[in-house]
Structure 1
Amino acid sequence: MNSYEAKQEARRQRYLDRADQARQEFEDTHERAHKMAEAIPFGQPILVGHHSEKRDRNYRGRIHDTFGRAFAALEKAEHYKDKAASVGHGGISSDDPDALQKLRAKLAEMENSQALMKAANQTIRRHKTDEARIAALVPLGFTEAQALDLIKPDYIGRVGYAPFTLSNHNANMRRVKERIAELEHAATRQHKEEQAEGYTYREDPEENRVMFIFDGKPAENVRQLLKSHGFKWSPTRGAWVRQITGNALFAARCVRQGLAELSA
């Protein structure tokens, strides 16, 4: 497990801990609401006009609110449980130190898949009967069930992999290649830090972040300038940051120009 994966696991565990806390809050609050409700005899109506009416209505209202807080806690528990389950399933992050290795492996897998789809289509075109097609597809690695499904005509009578499937897959490969090229270029970047009036500008390849670090809390117009160019406040870094990309570096130049104009 590398450092990024360790952070992801720690993040997942934090969500699970929050889910457990919320679940315990639900159980405690739900039990308290039940005990409150037990004080009212089953079927006991509010005695309208009786001196106890107002007190009874208020008490029943508190029971209702307590049940409401209990089920709100249950929803929170489910929310954090879902968040924990989603950690690590958002694709390959550029923050992962093994991102290049993983992307290259993914690209190789995609290229193999693309080659297999093309070979399957060629095989289907070459053979004219379903029996011959299935017999030729199985040695390529398809099961008989997969081969049978592949030669089944679609809604317009096409068999095999549709052209849009191949073109979409090719576009996805192109995006992965672009990410690999971007990360390879990022690996050659040097740490950069420059002092300016009221802030420090930093490009940190190790953190994979471009940062603006201010001497104090920046003014509202400065914060709006940063936000409008995609920078977010990072309490852990004490800086306004964006992940280093070509777009982020261009945005940083725009911010620096804007800061210069504001201080002029």
Structure 2
Amino acid sequence: MNNPEVVQDVLEQRRQHVEDKKERKIERYEELAEKHQKESQQRYETASKMASAIPLGQPILVGHHSEKGDRAYRKRVNQNYDKAAEHADTAQRYQDKLEGIQNNTAISSDDPDAIAKLKHKLEGLQQLQDEMKRINKIIRSTKKLEGEARVKAVAEKANISKSRAQELLTPDFCGRIGYPNYSLTNNNATIRNTKQRIEQLKADLERIAEQGESAETRHDDLGVTVIENNVVNRIQLDFDRRLTKPAYRIVKGQSFNRTREGIFQRRLNSAGRYAVDQVLKALRELDSVLEPVPVAPPVSKPEPDPTLPKSCGYCGHKHPHDTELVFCDHCIGSPYLSPDSYHLLRLMPDDQRRSKRAKLTEDEQQFLVPVIVDAQTKANAARQQQQAEKKRVDIKKEYDKAITKAQTEFDGFTWLLDHGVNTENCIFYSHTLVFSFGWQSPISVEVIEQLEQALGGFPFSVEYKTHR
């Protein structure tokens, strides 16, 4: 082999490329598996928390004003459980992919050590072929023996266990014993294919010695460069511009995949070279292969109108055109204003409010940052005080509401018990302050008439659930 140093250098680069690609894939799958696992856990916890708000065994109150909301609430619970299961399945799928990458024993042509691995594999296949032939020959030589005597003879002559000899002497569904012909034929075909792969990889090394890292062929009529990239072991099509739709369909039809850099590629082998020839032939039959270069008319930047108000790029507040302020003073106390957005406070004429604002200079930072920090500190203190007052008012409202509900329930049931009214089929709905008769089992019209007489003077709202 000529230029062994060149070959070694290319193979080392390929090794690094393969390892980096594998690491990126593993990292990506780990991130996705963790992401979906967390999402599944959050969905499950949300669904469980929502479900715990429903009393055990509580049915949907058909006909009640809460029926629609209750059904929607239970639907959201089920949806969260379903989403939790979906994300768990997705996380498991990425976990399986990770295990597949880590446990993969296939020999890729991209592997710089592929020749050595294939030679080791070939030795094992040839040994297996010889072993199957040897054992079949022993089995044929003992055909005059029967039963246990034959099993013992095969085990001793073949140097295998009696259980293995028994398996080989047990006829299959076609009555065959030993290793069937198809096992030898298939193994021999695998040996032949392995030898062909070794020869092909050796030829690839000869080509790398001649080409180095890559070899390029330019086709000016199509605006494409064909690259045989030996580092990544791919044959590539690098077009000057974006392809037209017919051209794109032709390239994709030959199993070329587009990389992030916009290059189309597939594995570098005889099939890949043939695919390139087919693509070039088909592209030459098209009227146009590349999209035309866009020609944009020159745009003159208008001069700012000095009479227009000046706008803030963060909150949009407009200041008078003659203001002496350089930065907006309306949003400096916002809790959402971050250092990355400080330059947006710069005021610009209203007709240029969407233009890009310049970053802060060091002097501007020294002036503006302390002002913003002070404003945010004061604004946060004021907001906390407002929130505390609001919380106090809300707590008082909830307290008064709870007292009203409890007092109404106590007074209502006390009145009913004092007047001898049966309360077993009566419930108090605290959200409506209504006493409902017939909530467990509907009542008849006759019973309602009796209740209306008994409830004369009852100071609270009443409803009846009747037979439909």
The two structures have a TM-score, normalised by structure 2, of 0.52
Counterpart for residue 56 of structure 2: 42
Aligned pair partner of 1:16 in 27, 30, 35: 30
Residue in 2 aligned with 1:144? 162
Out of 105, 112, 128, the position equivalent to 1:113 is 128
- Judging changes above 3 Å, is the alpha-carbon distance between structure 1 residues 108 and 263 closer, same or farther for their aligned structure 2 residues? farther
Change (3 A) 1:245 1:84: same
Cα shift at 1:90: 6.3
Opposite residue 265 of structure 2, the aligned amino acid is: V
Is 1:75 aligned to 2:89, yes or no?
yes
In structure 1, what residue type is equivalent to 2:137? Q
For 2:333, the equivalent position in structure 1 comes to: none
2:140 pairs with 108, 125, 129, which one?
A: 125
Cα distance in 1 for partners of 2:21, 2:237 equals 23
Higher relative contact order (CA 8 A, sep 6+): 1
The residue aligned with 1:160 is: 178
In structure 2, do the counterparts of structure 1 residues 5 and 170 end up closer, same or farther at CA, with 3 Å as the change threshold?
farther
Q: CA deviation at 1:263?
A: 5.0
- In 2: Cα distance, 1:113 partner to 1:7 partner: 35
**Contact preservation (8 Å) 1:5, 1:96:** no
Residue 104 of structure 2 is aligned to residue 89 of structure 1? yes
Q: d(CA) in 1 for partners of 2:63 and 2:285? A: 72
For residues 121 and 27 of structure 2, what CA distance do their matches in structure 1 show? 27
Alpha-carbon distance in structure 2 between the residues aligned to 1:110 and 1:247: 27
**Does residue 282 of structure 2 align to residue 258 of structure 1?**
yes
Q: Which amino acid aligns with 2:216?
A: E
Name 1:247's counterpart in structure 2: 271
Please say if 1:195 is aligned against 2:218: yes
Query: Residue 159 of structure 1: CA displacement?
Result: 2.2
Point out the more displaced range, 198-207 or 44-53: 44-53
**Offset of residue 6 of structure 1:** 5.7
Distance 1:251 1:229 in 2: 6
Seen in structure 2, the aligned counterparts of structure 1 residues 125 and 175 have a Cα distance that, compared at 3 Å, is same
Bigger drift between 71-80 and 15-24 goes to 15-24
Q: Which amino acid aligns with 1:245?
A: N
Question: Deviation per CA, 1:62-116, whole angstroms, max 9, x where unpaired?
Answer: 1121111111101101111111122252621111111111111111110111011
Q: 1:155 to 1:59 in 2, by over 3 A?
A: closer
Task: Work out the CA distance in 1 between the residues paired with 2:68 and 2:174.
Answer: 71
1:9 positional shift = 5.0
Find the aligned partners of 2:21 and 2:228 in 1 and give their Cα distance.
Answer: 22
Q: Tell me the residue number matched to 1:182.
A: 200
* 1:221 paired residue among 219, 235, 246: 246
Alignment-derived partner of residue 63 in structure 1: 77
> Aligned-pair distance for 1:250?
0.5
Q: Tell me the amino acid that sits aligned with residue 172 of structure 1.
A: T
Determine the structure 2 residue equivalent to 1:173.
191
Aligned to 1:102: 117
Which moves more between the two structures, 3-12 or 123-132?
3-12
Distance 1:38 1:32 in 2: 10
- CA–CA distance in 2 between the matches of 1:10 and 1:143? 47
**Misfit runs of 4+, over 6 Å:** none
Matches of 2:166 and 2:193, distance apart in 1: 32
Per-residue deviation, 1:53: 2.1
> For residues 131-158 of structure 1, what are the alpha-carbon distances to aligned partners after superposition, in whole Å with 9 as ceiling and x for unaligned?
32221011xxx33322232222333433
- SS in structure 1 of the partner of residue 265 of structure 2: strand
Per mean C-alpha deviation after superposition, the further-off stretch among 113-122 and 149-158 is 149-158
The more displaced of 166-175 and 186-195 is 186-195
SS state at 1:188 partner:
helix
Equivalent AA in structure 2 for residue 119 of structure 1: R
Aligned position for 2:156: 135
Structure 2 CA distance for aligned equivalents of residues 22 and 40 of structure 1: 28
Size of the aligned set, in residue pairs, is 260
Return the offset for 1:192. 1.5
Aligned equivalents of 1:214, 1:168: Cα separation in 2: 44
Once residues 5 and 110 of structure 1 are traced to their aligned partners in structure 2, the CA distance between those partners, rounded to angstroms, is 28
TM-score (normalizing by structure 1): 0.90
- Give a deviation string over 1:185-240, Cα, whole Å, max 9, x none: 222222321233322211112211000112233221111101111111122x5311
Number of the residue aligned with 2:329:
none
Q: Which amino acid aligns with 2:181?
A: P
CA distance in structure 2 between the aligned counterparts of 1:228 and 1:90, rounded to whole angstroms: 30
Query: 3-state SS of the aligned residue for 2:178?
Result: coil
**What's the CA shift for 1:10?**
4.6
The structure that is helix-richer by fraction is: 1
**Which has the higher Rg, Structure 1 or Structure 2?**
2
Please report the RMSD computed on the Cα atoms of aligned residues, expressed in angstroms. 2.1
SS of equivalent residue, structure 1 residue 187? helix
Using the alignment, how far apart are the partners of 1:168 and 1:232 within structure 2? Answer: 33
